[in-house]
Amino acid sequence: MLSAFGEFLVAVIAMLYWYSYSVTTWVSRGLHAALPGRMGPSISDQEIGFTAIIIFATHPLTWLIGFLAVAGSVRLVGAACTESNLGILPLFVLDKMFLKITGQSGPGAAQQAGYTERNLTSYVGAIREKVRVSRTGSIPDVLCVCKEGAEEFLEIRACRRKPDWVPPRTVKYHDTFYRLEDCSAGSGPRPYRYRLRRLSAGVMSRTVLVYSPEQEPVIAVK
């Protein structure tokens, strides 16, 4: 996060300095050429300023600094939302060039490709969840109790993802212990669903998840 923020901050400062220096320089040169009449009698100050901005926008250095700003912001958001440590692109390219020149393939190329794909999927999912949370308010969970033969199951439908709720964790609700069997994400106001199987007994420990919602859940019976 610190390196990504530093990259983004340096790129923004460089962009401001480059804009101030380049536009001022090109406007000054344009006026210097226009005053003696070398650019024609109909040229105006606004046209000279607009031309300087066009040159600034199409200059390769502007694109390079803009790319560094975007890369830094993407790395910062990725580290903050998904805890994915995306590397700095120039160093990544130098590393690939070094491995290519020395004839080394790099450890676990296929594994690294899969890891990058999972990071991208996780990053996109985190962004979607942030947007969904910002657009919808918090509503109570819905608890649906159902029986399948001698087994009793509890299905929790929530509007927010529950951290660390990964099967087969043990969950304690009131004085009853459950085994988290499955979790899925769908659509609707409560897209996250957790299916828990009731246990005949359980022992409280540090690994047990305690389900204590802030809002009183809505109880439904199947």
Domain-wise residue ranges, the chain: 2-131, 142-221
Which residue type sits at 52? Answer: A
Burial 156-189 (b: 16+ CB within 10 A, else e): bbbbbbbeebeeeebbbbeebbbbbeebeeeeee
Number of residues in the chain? 222
Q: What is the C-alpha separation between 172 and 188, in angstroms, rounded?
A: 26
The tokens describing 65, both together, are 């600094």
Q: What is the C-alpha separation between 11 and 62, in angstroms, rounded?
A: 10
The residue among 73, 192, 177, 171 whose CA lies nearest residue 128 is 192
Per-residue pLDDT tens, the chain, 222 aa: give them: 788 888 889 999 999 998 888 888 877 777 666 655 555 566 666 777 777 788 888 888 989 888 888 888 888 887 777 666 667 777 777 887 888 888 765 555 545 545 455 555 555 566 666 666 656 667 899 999 998 888 999 999 998 888 889 999 999 998 899 999 999 888 878 888 999 999 988 888 888 999 998 888 888 766
Q: Tell me whether strands 192-198 and 209-210 are parallel, antiparallel or unpaired.
A: unpaired
Is the overall model pTM greater than 0.85, yes or no?
no
At 71, list the tokens: 């890369």
Sheet of strand 218-221, all strands in order from the earlier edge strand to the far edge: 209-210, 170-173, 176-185, 192-198, 151-158, 142-148, 218-221
Could you tell me which of 67, 73, 62, 48 has the C-alpha nearest to residue 16? 62
